[in-house]
Structure 1
Amino acid sequence: MTEYIVKRIKQGLLTITGQEMHPVWEMADVNSDFTFPWENEKAPKTNFRALHDEQYFYFRFDVEDDNVLTYVDEDHKMEVVHSDRVEIFFRQDEKLNPYYCLEMDARGRVLDYMTHYYRDFDYEWSWPESQDLEVKASTNTKGYVVEGAIKLSSLEGLGLLKNRTLEAGLYRGYCMKLPEEGLDADLRWISWVKPDSKDPDFHIPSSFGKLKLEV
């Protein structure tokens, strides 16, 4: 299974801003292994970084996008599905019963939900404690940035952090056109791990890798 090492930092070094990169992020390995799994074309660049300290798992996506599209009507979290976004799915094990999804757009809106295999989505679910999940984002001349911090205790409480390892999928929804009346948004799909599926689908066991927290 594809792995990424999450480097450890001292407590209190990193503050989430969702904007310019804090120098502490230079300590993180850069994961740029994002592709169009179902297309032959080269995908626009997506860089993922992660760090952790004694209390938090931190992540940052730097996304190249020359036309960031964000759908805003009532500013509801479900509008994220019609927008440019990055995604992290966390699972307990390969059975995917359940697994937990975070989809985050360039406004910093978070669509958090619980799912059971196969595609049994519970959009009423939200991260157990709001203070345990923080996400901030911004646009820039190259695209957009999404940063987040998740309390390790909440990941443990959901049965997701085991043996210092998170089984996670990292994805991107690349929006080509916002929704129009009667039509959904036009999206292309980018992934860290190439899923074993002929058709676009991240909600399967083969789309996950491992994020291993350094001691």
Structure 2
Amino acid sequence: AADVGFAKGAYVISKMLWAKGYPQLFQLMKYMNRKKKYNKLEPRADVYGGGPDLEAISSEARRQNLNLTFHGGIDHGLLREHKIMINPSISEVLCTTSAEALAMGKFVICPVHPSNDFFAQFPNCLQYRNLREAASRLEYALNNEPEPLSPTHRRVLTWEAGTERLVEAAQITEAMASAVWPSMKDDMGEGLHRWMSKGKRGRALRRMVSKKLVETECATCTA
């Protein structure tokens, strides 16, 4: 069930790799620190996760004097008190932590990107296209409470619904099959011809065919 009355603000949870959107996270924090309108918010975030770039990422955050607190790895399900998950990464096909955060009733702030298209249907998913929009989404999330998940949206996040989408995506209609099959037959025929024509196999086949043609012609001549 979704939590009500979150005690904490924003967090990030991921493997500690630069490719998981940490440069973009740093840009967002610096942008909000520069803008006077966000001074009262005191933008900060707790960061959870371990990985090969942990030391480099945490050192750079300290160097830039960003209000990020690094806690190491943790089970996502234990982060019940946070209201907002920031996920600047675009390296996943579909981010499971974003789905988990939405299922827990949190805001998810993430960029407009094909990997996040699935999450756009959720009212608590606040997407952005640039730093200004990202800061605006975070400001809104800090000053408001997430909407309760509707039964429809809650079901969309279940394994059952995910399996149904997978089966539906894998289905091939009769029209699709009839459109694809002729070209598949052509490709198969071409591939078989190349395979039979190569190397010793091809030379043996040509000799056999040539011998048969000669025998047929001789039989015709003597008939």
- Give the TM-score range, shorter chain: under 0.3
TM-score, with structure 2 as normaliser: 0.24
Q: Say which structure is richer in helix.
A: 2
TM-score, with structure 1 as normaliser: 0.25
* Rg larger in structure: 2
